[in-house]
Structure 1
Amino acid sequence: MSFDKEKVLALCNNWSKNTLMGTLEIEYIDAEEGMLKARMPVNPRVHQPMGLLHGGATVALAESVGSAASLMFVNPEKQEVRGIEISANHLKSKREGIVYGTAKIIHKGASIHLWEIRITDEEDRLISLCKLTNMVLSRKR
């Protein structure tokens, strides 16, 4: 089976409707085998009280893009993906604009996927560095 970038992006964006990803305006914008990229606007909707990007919103972006990326390696009719651990180091603040989450596979096992997710700004400055572990489960009907 060949990789279909447009199909992956359409699937991820369609599944995001009426979810946290939709609420945060996360949009999947690029994909290749082993990599998925999304963007999220930084505005008062994702600020903490001091007017900065909330770390929780950053982690929501990271987990969203990393979990969606694991879908590239499973059969969604037979398998499901669950995030089981996430860590984040917030390195730089952001008040407005856009942040990008780029997930790259570190380990692709049969039951565990490990992803590195870099959250960057428009100038490709590193905002946060995250690591996500996903578990692959058989889908229960």
Structure 2
Amino acid sequence: MPLTKEEILKQANAISKNTLMETLQIEMIDYGDDFLVAKMPVNSRVYQPDGVLHGGATAALAESVGSFASNIFSNLEEVFVRGIEITANHVKSVTEGHVYAKATFLHKGRTTQLLDIRVTDDNDNLVSICRLSTISLPKKK
């Protein structure tokens, strides 16, 4: 019997133990046929010195959700996935609540993938737009 959506999300979050995702409290919360959504709390753990969300934390959220998406939609028995480039344009400051990153595929090739990642706040305001390129490399046999 295939895993349920909840079981897949639980497994994705479980493998984040003792990683940057756990440190930043990034949690995978939803996915569909071509997207994955993660959330991260905005608090002093992810602030710049002046008390707003750090762009590097936002980029870490975006890369995490995009890389997880590439993993979920790949045959991990044959390949492993790595991020190869990320860009981020930050358009709004956030000081509290959560930010949500939704990764969707612009290109889903056998070797390379390109994802669009929109980061929004609790009120669905756009915070950042990111692009992530990933590569699927063959596992050594």
In the superposition, the TM-score normalised over structure 1's length comes to 0.94
Q: Which residue of 2 aligns with 1:133?
A: 133
Shift of 1:109: 0.4
Deviation at 1:33, TM superposition (A): 1.2
**Match in the other structure for 1:6:** 6
Question: Equivalents in 2 of 1:5, 1:32: separation in Å?
Answer: 9
Indicate the residue corresponding to 1:85 in structure 2. 85
SS in 2 for 1:59: helix
Q: How does 1:1-141 map to 2 (within 5 A)?
A: 4-140=4-140
Q: Give 1:72 deviation, angstroms.
A: 1.9
Helix, strand or coil: the match of 1:48?
Answer: coil
Deviations 1:97-131 (A, max 9, x none): 10001001110001011000000001100000000
- Counterparts of 1:21 and 1:140 in 2: how far apart (Å)? 27
**What stretches of structure 1 of length at least 5 have no aligned partner?**
none
Range moving further from structure 2, 130-139 or 73-82 = 73-82
User: How many residues are matched?
Assistant: 140
**What value does the CA root-mean-square deviation take over the aligned residues?**
1.4
Change (3 A) 1:102 1:54: same
- Given that 1:13 and 1:27 are in contact with CA atoms closer than 8 Å, whether structure 2 keeps it comes out as yes
Which is further off, 69-78 or 54-63? 69-78
- Identity rate, percent: 55
Structure-2 change in CA distance of 1:4 and 1:135 (3 Å): farther
Secondary structure of the equivalent of 1:124?
Answer: coil
Give the C-alpha shift of residue 4 in structure 1.
4.7
Structure 1 segments of 4 or more deviating over 6 A?
Answer: none
Cα deviation, residue 78, structure 1: 2.2
Letter in 2 for 1:70: S
Structure 1 residue 10: Cα displacement: 2.1
Shift of 1:18: 0.8
Change (3 A) 1:75 1:4: farther
